[in-house]
């Protein structure tokens, strides 16, 4: 019984260590974009990350080879988003952990762009995005 309790505690600690963490501040269309979820772009087939806010908006940041990023803003569960074009800088590094065959990523983004009737600005650091 004691061994089972220890295994359960270890499993809980391992899962807690894999929770995504995002710090910093982003603003989209003049309002705070409070990140509730951070996902690796690998889950969607692109290099970069996808950030989701409490309202369901999704901000995709695609890593370009030169260290810049391109962005797209999606509303709710829409399959298509509004292209924002080049939007600042993005660094993404693979971590050693994986969840459901998706490698967790960490990095940072410095954003400033305005296109398609949208404006995005701010900077964030992120880790354990899966």
Specify if 6 maps to a domain.
no
What pLDDT does residue 17 have? Answer: 52
Residue 63 lies in a domain: yes
Beta strands in the chain (DSSP E): 21-28, 31-32, 35-40, 48-53, 58-63, 68-74, 82-99, 102-115, 118-129
Given a cut of 70, whether residue 123 has pLDDT beyond it is yes
In a domain, residue 15? The reply is no
- pLDDT given at position 76: 84
68-78: burial string, b at 16+ Cβ within 10 Å, e else:
ebbbbbbeeee
Count of domains forming the chain: 1
Residue 12 lies in a domain: no
Of the given ranges (7-11, 65-69, 104-108, 126-130), which has the lowest mean pLDDT?
7-11
Q: What is the pLDDT of residue 98?
A: 87
Q: Kindly report which listed range (12-16, 42-46, 115-119) carries the lowest average pLDDT score.
A: 12-16
Domain limits at 103? Answer: 20-129
Q: Report the mean per-residue pLDDT for the chain.
A: 88
Question: Regarding predicted confidence, which is higher, 12 or 56?
Answer: 56
Res 16 pLDDT > 60: no
**41 is a domain residue:** yes
96 — phi, psi (to 5°)?
-85, -15
Residue 36 to residue 20: CA distance in whole angstroms:
9
Mean pLDDT calculated for residue range 38-62: 96
The encoded tokens of residue 38 equal: 């951070």
The model's pTM is: 0.84
């Amino acid at each position: 019984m004691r061994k089972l309790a220890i295994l359960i505690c270890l499993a809980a600690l391992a899962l807690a260590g894999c929770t995504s963490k995002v710090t910093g501040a982003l603003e989209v269309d003049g309002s705070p974009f409070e990140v509730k979820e951070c996902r690796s772009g690998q889950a969607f087939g692109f290099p970069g990350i996808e950030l989701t806010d409490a309202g369901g908006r999704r901000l995709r940041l695609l890593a370009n080879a030169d260290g810049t990023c391109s962005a797209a803003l999606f509303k709710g569960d829409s399959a298509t988003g509004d292209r924002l074009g080049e939007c600042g800088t993005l660094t993404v590094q693979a971590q050693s952990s994986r969840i459901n065959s998706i490698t967790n990523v960490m990095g940072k983004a410095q954003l400033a762009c305005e296109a398609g009737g949208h404006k995005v600005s701010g900077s964030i650091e992120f880790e354990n995005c899966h």
